[in-house]
Amino acid sequence: MSYKLKQLAELLGVKVHGDEEVVIKSVAPVDKATEGDISFVSSAKYLQGLRNTSASAVIVKPSMLEDTKVAALVVENPRATYARVVSLLYPQHLPEAGIHASASIDLTAQVAVSASIGANVVIEANAEIADDVIIEAGCVIGRNSKIGKSTHLYPNVTVYYDCIIGEQCILHSSSVVGSDGFGFEFDKTEWLKIAQVGGVRIGDKVEIGACSVVDRGALNDTVIEEGVKLDNHVQIAHNVHVGAHTVMSRGVGVAGSSKIGKNCIIGGMAGIRDNIEITDNVIITAMTIVSKSLRQPGSYSSTTPIDDTKSWRKNSVRFRQLDDMAKRIRLLEKQIENKG
Amino acid sequence: MSYKLKQLAELLGVKVHGDEEVVIKSVAPVDKATEGDISFVSSAKYLQGLRNTSASAVIVKPSMLEDTKVAALVVENPRATYARVVSLLYPQHLPEAGIHASASIDLTAQVAVSASIGANVVIEANAEIADDVIIEAGCVIGRNSKIGKSTHLYPNVTVYYDCIIGEQCILHSSSVVGSDGFGFEFDKTEWLKIAQVGGVRIGDKVEIGACSVVDRGALNDTVIEEGVKLDNHVQIAHNVHVGAHTVMSRGVGVAGSSKIGKNCIIGGMAGIRDNIEITDNVIITAMTIVSKSLRQPGSYSSTTPIDDTKSWRKNSVRFRQLDDMAKRIRLLEKQIENKG
Amino acid sequence: MSYKLKQLAELLGVKVHGDEEVVIKSVAPVDKATEGDISFVSSAKYLQGLRNTSASAVIVKPSMLEDTKVAALVVENPRATYARVVSLLYPQHLPEAGIHASASIDLTAQVAVSASIGANVVIEANAEIADDVIIEAGCVIGRNSKIGKSTHLYPNVTVYYDCIIGEQCILHSSSVVGSDGFGFEFDKTEWLKIAQVGGVRIGDKVEIGACSVVDRGALNDTVIEEGVKLDNHVQIAHNVHVGAHTVMSRGVGVAGSSKIGKNCIIGGMAGIRDNIEITDNVIITAMTIVSKSLRQPGSYSSTTPIDDTKSWRKNSVRFRQLDDMAKRIRLLEKQIENKG
């Protein structure tokens, strides 16, 4: 695809600075861009690159115009405009509407005419597939589950029964929605399974990464609100509630019945214990263990710093003496004080 | 489904207190239950809720009867009885016996007449599928593998060749049994693969979560004993042995050749190194790294506590000075002593 | 399979010591081996076992011959020779060439005659499947993707569009190559998706474990060089570059745009932050968080040591006082000095 800069500006409703006839075919970083490329600069540290760029156009903030020698789209959030430009220049290839001959669709399931159902897809009884949904090869949609308008399931996704997925969602391959929560009760000699009879409700515009899992509720539903983005290998346990527009990086685990607020950012491989409450606008850094509720917005961390293994070993063994060290410091302080 | 309380009592072999004719249709928490609901109370902290409940019936311990104003099932372990009541009130919908037309079953495979084989299931040569097994859509069962009676595989599970899975097991979607252990030997310039020629043996009543992986053994089998429950994203490496009735929460990783005892409880995202032995009845808290064998029952932990990121940063950098701090404390003690 | 020792020696191009006519049928550890077994000894701590072994033959270093009473293959790296012997004695069962009747192959895809395409495999437009490739049941290969010669995909693997996988690679079940990188920009009220228009390039002899994920690049490709071995549940984020012959144990996560050198060994469940550079020949121990670039070869760690939970709790709370403790030590030192 290629656009004149003025066409991009019109499609996006933004202002042009300079030559609006320049032709844009691709995106590239400001320091590597050449003719036909558009770049974006969102921070002052790339101003030098901006001044020297060979891009045909750039996306910049108004304050950057004096450092801009080439044509430009002038916006408040260059990266957001960049995101929209990428989608225009590199339109996604979407499969055609229709049902592949090898798909197995229960007679009681409802599949919109505009939906695209890939090879070997299985859609069970009473499931509902809305308009413009794309379900790629090998996906399985369980009984009574509903997939909202324009949602896209990549190949080999499994959605269990009684799960509701919103509109414009994206589920990546090998992800699973609706598997049993981990609920057992030890009874004399063995673990008795507690049937997980709740479902899953996922809002609009939610993205779920490859190999991520959202368990069904024990009794009530597991809930993910709109706009939530989950990276790969994320786990949402039974009866968890994730607030709108919260993002979780790769490998995050949220244990049972915890409630995460809106607009939180959870770093990769962080673990959140069960029955925790996290308020809105909380940031958790990578690999942190959240073992208590967080009622104030802000950034939280645990973990220890990386070191060469030899030094680390020497310091790490002292961790077991920390309480002793603290007490000895207190004792020294008293001794000094007494001698004062 | 609905039952009179006396019917539930008979089916479960437990005692009724109060009106045994009351009709039970559903379960609910003691403080939210209304007519038709049954609730359970297993700890004293819910006694207030018990006194005020609007449930039609409750499941309680004998000692709680004086706080019980409604009909009751009286048992030693209310939560276990609750688990059984849930299964009665919410019976699982099971697919019918028979083989879906789209399944690919090798002529040498044996599939019981009472088994249910879903769409696109693949069963390879000499595999054996026992009575009442349910294999849902998209599962693949490799050569010579055996699936025991009444075991249930949800969609898109893969079982490699030469794996034996017991009776009444549950395997969730995207889980994998029998993939190669991670065995390589560096030879001059590259890693040489060590063929993994062992298999996997899984006992009865084992549950394996979504996206969990049990690798095949290098030479001998990887073994999971009966009653083990693995949550999602769990990894059991080659030649690991997991003792009966041990449970592992989400994301636990057990590295090669480690041996875990019976009745252990391993918290989420804990990591167990290779060639470790953990005795019976060990509890590991979440995100702990087990870097040595644990020969005494008890609870074990590592990790550091969560803090606001600013405070954490200040304290965390000191971790690298711990050994130095310990030595300086010792020196101070000597100096004080000398001055004594 | 069985071989005379001299046949093994010839096939492997190594020296025999002792009875070269002895028949070898299987491998076993040196202390458990019996007639027909071959064992290997690579370290001095097994010399006692070597002296007493009942194996028909052993694989040893030249320096071990005086402790060797049975026939032997004499080599510099016994474990590497062992790896080759295992492959000879336990040849892999490979499916036959040809395309299963239930596979869905686009008319524009190219599939080599010698390739084996399993049941329900889906190969999309313009994909290329080279000679001797094995693609097992339920795999999906996206548009324009290429699978190199002799590469083996186990069941239910998903390869998205525009991904290039080298020769002699192995991809285990439920693994995913080419899913979208985790790229979003917050725009006023919600996260805007940044289309991920790069691809994935994977070199020769790469192994990717079960449930592992390699995301496609945002703009340029995600790259994994030849000989890299990834265990299960590993995540390679968008635009990561992994150098040749690096191995990552189970659960490692590498965040976006990080660059890992050649011949690195990354321990299980370690996390590597985004935009990090790790030089060649770096070892990271298990569960370490790599939060800064590592420019010197060597071994690195973070984490804290395991302890009984009661002791751990006592010490762990002191972590929040570390900075305070350090300052108090400094103050004590000054006080002592002043009194000096």
Q: For residue range C206-240, what is the model confidence (pLDDT) as tens digits?
A: 999 999 999 999 989 999 999 999 999 999 999 99
Residue B260 burial by Cβ neighbours in a 10 Å radius (0-12, 13-18, 19+): buried
Q: Is the overall model pTM greater than 0.90, yes or no? A: yes
Closest CA to A177 of A159, A156, A192: A159
Active site residue C100: no
Q: Which of B160, B130, B168, B263 lies closest to B221, judged by CA?
A: B160
Residue C1 scores a pLDDT above 90: no
* Helix axis angle, B322-339 to A309-318, nearest 10°: 50
Report d(CA B146, CA B160) in Å as an integer.
Answer: 10
Q: Is the pLDDT of residue B7 over 70?
A: yes
pLDDT per residue over A59-109, tens digit each? 999 999 999 999 999 999 999 999 999 999 999 999 999 999 999 999 999
Q: Which of B152, B238, B241, B245 is catalytic?
A: B238
Please tell me the predicted confidence (pLDDT) of residue A86.
96
pLDDT tens digit sequence for A267-287: 999 999 999 999 999 999 999
Q: What is the per-residue pLDDT across C238-249, written as a single tens digit (0 to 9) for each? A: 999 999 999 999
Q: Is C303 left (phi over 0), alpha (psi -120 to 50) or beta?
A: left
CB contacts < 8 A, B to C, total 219
pLDDT mean over A115-130: 98
Which residues on chain A are in Cβ contact (under 8 Å) with B312? 300-302
Which CA distances in Å does B96 have to A108, B15, B101, B136, C116?
16, 35, 13, 11, 33
Work out the pLDDT band at A31, boundaries 50, 70, 90.
very high
* Residue extents of the structural domains in chain B: 3-89, 157-300, 309-339
The residue among A314, A336, A333, B325 whose CA lies nearest residue C323 is: B325
pLDDT at C34 over 70: yes
Cα within 13 Å of Cα(C193), Cβ side:
20
Q: What is the mean pLDDT of residues B259-268?
A: 98
Q: Judge whether B277 and A283 are in contact, CB under 8 Å.
A: no
Which band of pLDDT confidence, cut at 50, 70 and 90, is reported for residue B340?
low
Name the token pair of C184.
């979003």
How many whole angstroms separate alpha carbon B40 and alpha carbon B25?
14
Contacts of A156 in chain B (CB under 8 A): 138, 156, 174
Task: Please give the average per-residue pLDDT across B113-131, as a whole number.
Answer: 98
pLDDT tens column, B172-188? 999 999 999 999 999 99
Q: Percentage of chain B with pLDDT > 70?
A: 100
Q: What pLDDT score does B338 carry?
A: 87
**B253 and C247 in contact by Cβ < 8 A?**
no
- In CATH, the number for domain A3-89 is 3.40.1390.10
Which residues touch A147 (CB under 8 Å, ≥6 apart)?
A127, A128, A129, A130, A133, A135, A141, A153, A159, A165
Q: What is the pLDDT of residue A8?
A: 97
pLDDT, residue B146, reads: 98
Closest C-alpha among A160, A179, C87 to residue B196: C87
Average pLDDT of the residues of chain A = 97
pLDDT digits (tens, 9 = 90+) for A150-207: 999 999 999 999 999 999 999 999 999 999 999 999 999 999 999 999 999 999 999 9
Dist CA A78 CA A65 (whole Å) = 13
DSSP three-state, residue B337: helix
Which residue shows structure tokens 């040569």? B125
CATH class of B157-300: mainly beta
Q: A239, A51, A153, C212: which is closest to B176 by C-alpha?
A: C212
CA distance A138 to chain B (A): 7
Q: Give C294's DSSP letter.
A: B
| Residue A1 scores a pLDDT above 90 | no
Under 8 Å between Cβ of B193 and B175 = no
From residue C338, give the alpha-carbon distance in Å to each of A335, B32, B339, C64, C334. 15, 68, 13, 64, 6
Phi and psi of B93, rounded to 5°?
A: -80, 115
Q: Residue A123 above 90 pLDDT?
A: yes
pLDDT tens, position by position, C147-200: 999 999 999 999 999 999 999 999 999 999 999 999 999 999 999 999 999 999
Place of tokens 């060469």: A308
Residues in chain C with CB shorter than 8 Å from the CB of A286 are 255, 271, 273, 289, 291
How far apart are the C-alpha atoms of A198 and A219, rounded to whole Å? 4
Whether B62 shows a pLDDT value over 90: the answer reads yes
pLDDT for C340 equals: 64
Tokens linked to A47: 């101003």
Architecture per CATH, C98-300: 3 Solenoid (2.160)
Q: Is the pLDDT of residue B171 over 80?
A: yes
Show residues of chain A in contact with B88, CB under 8 Å.
none
Can you read off the two tokens belonging to residue A199? 């479902």
Closest partner CB to A298 (pick from B84, B308, B325): B308
Cα–Cα distances in Å, from C161 out to B103, C30, C202? 27, 48, 14
pLDDT digits (tens, 9 = 90+) for C290-317: 999 999 999 999 999 999 999 999 999 9
Interface mutation vs chain B, best among A300, A334, A338, most B CBs within 10 Å: A300
CB under 8 Å to C324, separation ≥6 — which residues? Answer: none
Give the integer Cα–Cα distance in Å for A61 and C246.
42
CB contact under 8 A, B251 and A253: yes
Note whether B328 contacts C325, CB cutoff 8 Å.
Answer: no
Please judge whether B194 and C320 are an interchain contact, meaning their C-beta atoms are less than 8 angstroms apart.
no
